[in-house]
Amino acid sequence: MSKLWGGRFTKETNKLVEEFTASIPFDQKLAKEDIAGSLAHVQMLGECGIIPVEDAEEIKKGLHHIKEMVDHGEVEFLIEDEDIHMNIEKLLLEQIGPVGGKLHTGRSRNDQVATDMHLYLRTKTTELITLVENVQKAIVEQAKANIETLIPGYTHLQRAQPVSFAHHLMAYFWMFERDKERLIDSLKRVNWLPLGAGALAGTTFPINRERVAEILGFETIYPNSMDAVSDRDFILEFLSIGSIIMTHISRLSEELVLWSSQEFQFVELDDSFCTGSSIMPQKKNPDVPELLRGKTGRAYGNLIGLLTVLKGLPLAYNKDLQEDKEGMFDTVETLEGSLKLLAPMIETMTVKKDVMRKAINNDYSNATDIADYLVTKGLPFREAHEVIGKIVLYAIQSGKFLLDLSFDEYQQFSPLFGEDIYEVLAPEHVVAVRNSLGGTSPEQVKQQIKLAEEKLQQ
């Protein structure tokens, strides 16, 4: 069978052109969506009397059969048939004969492909929301087991103040919570129906777009046919949300790489999530978090790629738009793979509480608390800061930590010091008194986890 659009042509398409312009090597991933869109369209054509109901029924039967063939991997997609839309239409014609040619009445590949993409992203976005949630659940579980586990908190990657390890982990929970909200919100715009826009200007047939929207479960219909066929904002939005998710995954991965290094040893990743070296037998490499960090680059690339494709595109459909697909598939698959690994990696990692604790015993991260102490004794904070700066310097020079200084030594710096200073400086106390809303005290962290669990239940 020749090209579906062959009538106007006097020559065969150049083979290189065929290969260059075909999208079937990648858009065959849209087979299910393409058939679903066609089923809804032909149902509507029949109901509106645009084609006879018997013809519509025959076409539906044919489409169902093709769907089964696709599901069983029995279909051979052809480059000559360019894309998923024409491949399926050709199959339909082969199955049921010329009546199959009525399917494309009142429709164009332009509104068809846009509809396929909307349907695809709707399914994938919904699945990704669950995968994000699984990561959140893994974080909550580790957090619950580590409310009292103390770890140095850093700014500038310098020890700042001790925090609960649960608190540190839960910071990522909220990043993923916002990601989830973004995904959910994006569904509003994914749920706009393009079908019925025709090639760009609408159609002369008395179609019923509301009915198609109803069958396919769309909430809104694009009110402008030109916008409908050329809008790819919903994909941009997905790619940008995907980039943000990968940023969060990458930041957490970087911490896991650091924490599992010989220098930190705060966590040990499970053997089943690490790889070895082909030459250095002692090595246990955090390849998974490294690769998660590395894969973030392709998600950004896909976003920038599509932004660049769209920039300067005149209305309405242009073949450039075919470039929207591979990046979108790639980001979907990158997110799926990454989120699926991240959850069990967090669940199975060993938290080395004693190493974390030892780190805290050997730093000056309780210095702020001496300042706060003097403030409660009436000294202005700036003056207190100055005094403590001197104490820290003195301690460093004498090779001691703040808890090692004698009471006499404290008194030399300020008569305001009482014996209770040692209690105040104990790391557990330092953490417990940061009891302001959203702070790191066990009480606040428990509240936070409770809120997180409520969110997960919604």
Catalytic residues: 156, 277
Q: Across-strand partners of 150?
A: 164
- Its sign, for the CA torsion 30, 32, 35, 36, is negative
Question: What is the longest distance spanned by two Cα atoms in the chain?
Answer: 101
x/- site string to ligand ARG, residues 70 to 109, per CB under 6 A? -------------x-------------------------x
Where does residue 350 rank: exposed (0-12), middle (13-18), buried (19+ CB within 10 A)? exposed
* Closest of 170, 192, 122 to residue 346, by C-alpha: 170
Query: At its nearest, how many Å lie between ligand ARG and the CB of residue 42?
Result: 19
Residue 4 or 355: the one with the smaller Cβ distance to ligand ARG is: 4
d(CA 246, CA 248): 5
- Choose which of 31, 321, 384, 421 interacts with ligand ARG (CB under 6 A): 321
Query: At its nearest, how many Å lie between ligand ARG and the CB of residue 158?
Result: 51
x/- site string to ligand ARG, residues 11 to 50, per CB under 6 A? ------------x---x-----------------------
- Choose which of 317, 373, 410, 417 interacts with ligand ARG (CB under 6 A): 317
Query: At its nearest, how many Å lie between ligand ARG and the CB of residue 102?
Result: 20
Query: At its nearest, how many Å lie between ligand ARG and the CB of residue 334?
Result: 21
Residue 24 near residue 79 (C-beta atoms within 8 A): yes
Residue 92 near residue 81 (C-beta atoms within 8 A): no
Determine, following the binding rule CB under 6 A, whether residue 113 of this chain makes contact with ligand ARG.
yes
Query: At its nearest, how many Å lie between ligand ARG and the CB of residue 297?
Result: 25
Where does residue 354 rank: exposed (0-12), middle (13-18), buried (19+ CB within 10 A)? exposed
Taking phi first (over 0 means left), then psi (-120 to 50 degrees means alpha), and beta for anything else, what does residue 151 get?
beta
Q: CB 24: neighbour CB atoms within 10 A?
A: 17
Residue 113 or 445: the one with the smaller Cβ distance to ligand ARG is: 113
Residue 87 or 414: the one with the smaller Cβ distance to ligand ARG is: 87
User: In angstroms, what is the C-alpha Rg of the chain?
Assistant: 31
Query: At its nearest, how many Å lie between ligand ARG and the CB of residue 23?
Result: 4
Residue 101 or 344: the one with the smaller Cβ distance to ligand ARG is: 101
Q: CB 64: neighbour CB atoms within 10 A?
A: 12
Residue 424 near residue 146 (C-beta atoms within 8 A): no
For 251, the token pair is 């930041």
Window of 95-103, 147-155, 304-312, 319-327 that interacts with ligand ARG by CB under 6 A: 319-327
Q: How far is CA 424 from CA 366, 407, 417, in A?
A: 9, 13, 11
Determine, following the binding rule CB under 6 A, whether residue 118 of this chain makes contact with ligand ARG.
no
Which residues between 255 and 314 bind ligand ARG (CB under 6 A)?
A: none
Query: At its nearest, how many Å lie between ligand ARG and the CB of residue 320?
Result: 9
Determine, following the binding rule CB under 6 A, whether residue 164 of this chain makes contact with ligand ARG.
no
d(CA 258, CA 270): 15
Residue with tokens 């738009």: 321
Window of 156-164, 270-278, 318-326, 401-409 that interacts with ligand ARG by CB under 6 A: 318-326
- Choose which of 43, 87, 110, 448 interacts with ligand ARG (CB under 6 A): 110
Residue 108 near residue 199 (C-beta atoms within 8 A): yes
Residue 179 or 324: the one with the smaller Cβ distance to ligand ARG is: 324
Q: What is the dihedral of CA 450, 452, 454, 456, to 10 degrees?
A: -140
Residue 83 or 89: the one with the smaller Cβ distance to ligand ARG is: 83
d(CA 161, CA 365): 5
Query: At its nearest, how many Å lie between ligand ARG and the CB of residue 113?
Result: 4
- Name the 3-class secondary structure at 161: strand
Determine, following the binding rule CB under 6 A, whether residue 316 of this chain makes contact with ligand ARG.
no
Residue with tokens 């909307």: 118
Residue 319 or 382: the one with the smaller Cβ distance to ligand ARG is: 319
Q: How many residues bind ligand ARG (CB under 6 A)?
A: 10
Binding site for ligand ARG (CB under 6 A): 23, 27, 83, 109-110, 113, 317, 319, 321-322
